[in-house]
Amino acid sequence: MKTQTRVAVIGGGIAGCSTLYHLTQEGWSDVVLLERDELTSGTTWHSAAQVTNFGMTQTMVGLKTHSIQLYQELANDPDYPINYHHGDGGIRLANTEAQMDGYRHFASMARGMGVEFEVIDAAECARRHPLISTDNLVGGLWDPMDGDIDPAQLCQALARRARKAGAEVYRNTPVTALRQRKDMSWEVETPNGTIHAEIVVNAGGYRVNEIAAMMGVRHPVMSMEHQYFVTDDMPQVRDAGHRMPLLRCPISDYYCRQERDGLLVGFYEQDCRTWGMDGIDPKFTNDLCPDDLDRITDVLEGAFARMPALMEVGIKTVVNGPITYSLDGAPLVGPIPGKRNAFCIIGLRAGVGEGGGHGWLLAQQIVHGEAVYDTWGLDPRRFTGHDSVELTALKAIEEYQNEFRFHFPHEHRPAGRPFKTTPLTALLEAEGAVMTQVSGWERLDYMRPAPDFVEAHSFRRTDLHEVIAAEVQALHSGVGLTEVSGFTRIEVTGADATAFLNRMTCSRIPSKVGRVALVYLLNGQGRIKCEATLTRLEDRDGAPRYWYGSAAAAEGHDFDWLSQHIAPGEDVRLTPLTETHTTLVLAGPKAREVLSATARGDWSAEAFPWLSARPATVGIADALVMSVSFSGELAYEIHVRNAQLVPAYRALRATGAAHGLTLFGARAVESMRLEKSFLHWKADLLTEFTPFETGLDRFVRMEKPDFVGKPALEARTGANPAKRLVTLSIACTDREAQPGATVQVGSEVVGTVTSAAFGHRTGLNLALAFIDAEQARIGTPLTLDLIGDIIPAEVIAPNPFDPGMTRPRG
């Protein structure tokens, strides 16, 4: 066995084999895979192995498309063909028009990735799958590329190709210890010797946290028992003249595909069960859990009603094995939080079907630092402090129970809530606040207009539209208050802090104490990595001090990015303050009057202009006040320690009463920031685009001697961007666009919506979208595919509300 390698991949299922193969495709041949038993001896061997194009985001569609194309190539390899039933087709059923709207949206989104789905009615579902009943059925979504594959052959084929490219595979070689050296490389200990690896990859399947424990971390991944059975041969299947399409049924929580001349039927029962919470038997390999068909009785009855033929056939085989789920159901593919040169590809609930794409994206991240797609939806750092074993179990159960039920817009499921709260959470709820969740934090979404009001989640406009309109109008004409919980806040100090931040950002950083600047950080490819507000504070111990603020979801991501760029010997210290402070936002034309009545000092526009910051006492609470706005109105961010948050809030409420102060939530902010064409991290700010493509030219200072990403950005000087981020006005009043919706010129796809909301101050139905640069001129007519209808739209000038920015300046 080798004693040194560039990358050691731990785990020989689809995740590990795909990563190993794709590393060789990216040009790294000095890579090894370590498997404790035989290849595919974990979850992979008993996988139902369905391969679909369907995904909830464009990134997921893209990686599944890569899987399908790769698997087709492997199946057609004359030297080592594998069994892949490709193009049998598959249907996702629906029994409500609301579900059908969701399918229409996903079809629009997939078109942007070159994938064609078809929305069909109930009769057409039955024509394409003759074994199903149309009772209580409205229609479905047809995926013509759907199919299934032999998982063991797939992994062996990937390992074979990786070996041919120079990789090595060591079977029966369990990893027993992982130790990180001072140079951040790893010693990987096994019974067969120790390998010194520059990089390690955790692809451990359901043993993910055994490997994680060796690194001193824990991942929010939980295993669930999952059962399916294979029927005896069925004449209806054998004599159909074609392979039966795959079926996925959110109505009755089961799926079905052809297996030889019978059917494989799997279940997502409500009475589900976690597995391995208290440890896994070391001898559990190529093994299964005991059958428990009583647990699936209710789901089976639904399957019988949908497919009566199942009541007439015997069961040949029952399989009950563990499959892994993450905290939010999406895989964790990328850098391990808080570690250097360590990556993971874990929590793959549908591993075989999409594992080809996951390994592809991870290999690109390892070799190049980024992938062709923005991978935030898969990034392990999206969980920050809300990943306990118990919470993961609750969320895994919830995801399992809703396997085929997609999230509607603004839908947040209840398991494990509330988890992260502030001292204001209960007070706000008592006043009628409906909370959303951001990176585990409870955050005010909107104020309930009546005690019995419940939002109807839909892809069409709902009665919440008028509620948000009222919140926006009250703020726009008077003054409003909200809490922004979980806002990422990092104090940057040290003698080299200024030089460090100048190197990290392409923008101008604030040079004077008490000034605030919006800055952008780029990756090595010159594309957008982070967005932050930098505030210069009073020096501490003779050294400069800054507050770095960014989106709540960016906490782990940004801390990793900053800490990994501190050079040896550089005097820079990063202190996270996210857990200790919370932000109150006071906004509206009367905001200055309320602040002046609550905090001593001169808060006039002359004494405290736009983009200023200074300490203050709000009521009796110490705070840092900043004159910044995400709403486009005069606004103040009031940063308060959690221990004094309640008195600060009560003081603002008390003085605000005389000025008609109201509460507003995140949904109103979303409407207002679209009217300003303000961008949201990981909605509109993506690693796929440069600041020039994103319309952020004014924040780039190419005259700076150096910053991360500058050489790559310079190499593009003079090149015309392929895409541009534009603001669109949409000509409809019964729906807003959803992220991922396709933008067209005629029948040609030219772009994708990133954010959208109705602008209540402008009366415009707005969206932001990346579109082909030649279509980005103001006034260009376009169309959007919104839940199956082609809606006219037009490129308009950005910042349609108060383009002169007079209101925030007061």
Which pLDDT belongs to residue 717? 79
Residues 6+ apart with CB under 8 A from 718: none
Task: Report yes or no: 495 and 546 within 8 Å, Cβ to Cβ.
Answer: no
Q: Could you give phi then psi for residue 188, rounded to 5 degrees? A: -110, 110
> What tokens does 549 get?
């603020």
Between CA 353 and CA 52 the distance in angstroms is: 6
Q: How confident is the model at residue 82 (pLDDT cuts 50, 70, 90)?
A: very high
Mean pLDDT of 523-538: 98
Per-residue model confidence as pLDDT tens digits over 338-352: 999 999 999 999 999
Between CA 709 and CA 337 the distance in angstroms is: 22
Mean pLDDT of 788-795: 98
SS (H, E, C) 688-735: CCCCCCCCCHHHCCCCCCCCCCHHHHHHCCCCCCCEEEEEEEECCCCC
> What tokens does 342 get?
């360590």
The verdict on whether omega for the bond into residue 808 sits within 30 degrees of 0, i.e. cis, is: no
Q: Is the pLDDT of residue 415 over 90?
A: yes
Which pLDDT belongs to residue 559? 97
Alpha carbon 707 to its chain centroid, in Å, reads 28
Alpha carbon 406 to its chain centroid, in Å, reads 14
Mean pLDDT of 461-481: 98
Residues 6+ apart with CB under 8 A from 49: 148, 149, 150, 151, 154, 352, 353
- Strands of 393-527, DSSP E: 433-438, 441-447, 480-484, 488-493, 516-522
> What tokens does 680 get?
């949201």
Alpha carbon 571 to its chain centroid, in Å, reads 34
Half-sphere exposure of 749 (CA within 13 A, CB side): 17
Strand order of the β-sheet with 147-149 is 50-51, 147-149, 84-85
> What tokens does 284 get?
């559990």
CA-to-CA separations, 116 to 70, 109, 123, 145, 249, in angstroms, rounded? 18, 10, 20, 9, 20
Q: The tokens 């029948």 sit on which residue?
A: 747
CA-to-CA separations, 398 to 66, 255, 364, 414, 602, in angstroms, rounded? 29, 18, 32, 9, 52
Between CA 406 and CA 92 the distance in angstroms is: 11
Mean pLDDT of 12-24: 98
Task: Report yes or no: 119 and 104 within 8 Å, Cβ to Cβ.
Answer: yes
How crowded is residue 734: how many other Cβ atoms within 10 Å of its Cβ? Answer: 12
Q: Is the pLDDT of residue 425 over 80?
A: yes
Task: Report yes or no: 443 and 666 within 8 Å, Cβ to Cβ.
Answer: yes
Per-residue model confidence as pLDDT tens digits over 674-725: 999 999 999 999 999 999 999 999 999 999 999 999 999 999 877 889 999 9
> What tokens does 431 get?
């006043």
Percent of the chain with pLDDT over 70: 100
> What tokens does 13 get?
């299922």
Q: What is the pTM of this model?
A: 0.96
How crowded is residue 313: how many other Cβ atoms within 10 Å of its Cβ? Answer: 17
Which pLDDT belongs to residue 386? 82
* Angle (nearest 5°) at CA 687 between 55 and 766: 70
Q: Is the pLDDT of residue 391 over 90?
A: yes
Q: Which residues of 632-658 are buried (b: 16+ CB within 10 A; e: fewer)?
A: bbbbbbbbbeeebbbebbebbbebbee
Average pLDDT, the chain: 97
Q: Which amino acid is at 391?
A: L
Which pLDDT belongs to residue 96? 97
Q: Which amino acid is at 447?
A: M
Which pLDDT belongs to residue 123? 98
Q: Could you give phi then psi for residue 550, rounded to 5 degrees? A: -150, -175
Q: Could you give phi then psi for residue 657, rounded to 5 degrees? A: -60, -40
With left for phi above 0 and alpha for psi between -120 and 50, is residue 409 left, alpha or beta?
A: beta
Which pLDDT belongs to residue 500? 98
Per-residue model confidence as pLDDT tens digits over 187-201: 999 999 999 999 999
Between CA 186 and CA 8 the distance in angstroms is: 9
Mean pLDDT of 415-431: 97
Per-residue model confidence as pLDDT tens digits over 262-318: 999 999 999 999 999 989 999 999 999 999 999 999 999 999 999 999 999 999 999
Q: Which residues of 280-294 are buried (b: 16+ CB within 10 A; e: fewer)?
A: beeebeeeebeeeee
Q: How confident is the model at residue 403 (pLDDT cuts 50, 70, 90)?
A: very high
Which pLDDT belongs to residue 720? 86
In 3D space, the residue among 579, 584, 613 whose CA is nearest the CA of residue 598 turns out to be 584
Between CA 243 and CA 208 the distance in angstroms is: 36
Q: Is the pLDDT of residue 592 over 80?
A: yes
Which pLDDT belongs to residue 385? 85
- DSSP helix/strand/coil, 498: helix
> What tokens does 247 get?
């079926």
Q: Is the pLDDT of residue 387 over 90?
A: no
Q: Could you give phi then psi for residue 414, rounded to 5 degrees? A: -85, -15
Between CA 161 and CA 621 the distance in angstroms is: 64
Cα separation of the two ends of the chain: 70
In 3D space, the residue among 696, 583, 676, 695 whose CA is nearest the CA of residue 631 turns out to be 676
Q: Which residues of 78-88 are buried (b: 16+ CB within 10 A; e: fewer)?
A: eeeebebbeeb
Q: Is the pLDDT of residue 450 over 80?
A: yes
Per-residue model confidence as pLDDT tens digits over 241-263: 999 999 999 999 999 999 999 99
Q: Is the pLDDT of residue 100 over 80?
A: yes
Between CA 797 and CA 808 the distance in angstroms is: 19
- DSSP helix/strand/coil, 795: strand
Which pLDDT belongs to residue 716? 86
Q: How confident is the model at residue 800 (pLDDT cuts 50, 70, 90)?
A: very high
